[in-house]
């Protein structure tokens, strides 16, 4: 465990199962590490003070990743484009995505593994000739669930 508390949020790494290359894992922002239970309310006859709330299933948000635009030939871009530009007649190949928050020595403090992730949205930020900004893209992934653990692998 690190001597630094709280950890910084800007030092993290991403890895996509079956996709290698430092450029494909270089993102400026990652969000969507959230889970919640949906609940069903049950009303009991004669009990008017409250309703019972029972859990149903866990619900997960989308993993949202932002970065400067990459070339169309990157392995990650090819995988995303193959899915998003398809007519859905072919098979969608999900991949696991691993996100690790790092300490000052580049050791994982916390690792999230997103299971069966696949792209559902790819957007490009607007271009503006009056601003001096990077051309940004946002990739959004659906996934079945995530696991979270302290440290790496």
Does the global pTM surpass 0.95? Answer: no
Q: Residue 53: pLDDT band by 50, 70, 90 thresholds?
A: very high
Low-confidence winner among 24-28, 42-46, 75-79, 108-112 (lowest mean pLDDT): 24-28
Q: At residue 100, does pLDDT exceed 50?
A: yes
CATH number of 12-150: 2.30.110
Domain spans of the chain, in order of start: 12-150
Q: At residue 46, does pLDDT exceed 90?
A: no
**So what's the pLDDT on residue 4?**
65
Task: For the chain, give the DSSP string.
Answer: --SSSSPPSS-EEEEETTB--TGGG--SEEE---EEEEEEEEPPTT--S--EEEEEEEEE--EEEEEEPPPTTSHHHHHHHHHHTS-S-S----EEEEEEEE-TTS-EEEEEEEEEEEEEEEEEPPP-TTS----EEEEEEE-SEEEEEES--
Q: At residue 152, does pLDDT exceed 70?
A: no
């Amino acid at each position: 465990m690190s001597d630094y508390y709280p950890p910084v949020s800007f030092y993290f790494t991403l890895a996509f199962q079956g996709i290698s290359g430092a450029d494909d894992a270089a993102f400026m922002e990652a969000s969507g590490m959230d889970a919640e239970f949906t609940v069903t309310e049950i009303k009991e006859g004669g009990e008017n003070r409250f309703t019972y709330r029972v859990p149903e299933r866990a619900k997960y948000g989308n993993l949202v990743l932002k970065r400067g635009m990459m070339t169309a030939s990157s392995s990650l871009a090819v995988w995303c484009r193959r899915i998003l530009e398809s007519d859905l007649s072919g098979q969608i190949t999900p991949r696991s995505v691993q996100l690790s928050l790092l300490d000052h020595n580049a050791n994982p403090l916390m690792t999230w593994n997103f299971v069966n992730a696949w792209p559902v949205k790819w957007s490009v930020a607007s271009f503006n000739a009056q601003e001096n900004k990077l051309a940004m893209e946002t990739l959004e992934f659906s996934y079945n669930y995530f696991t979270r653990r302290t440290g790496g692998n």
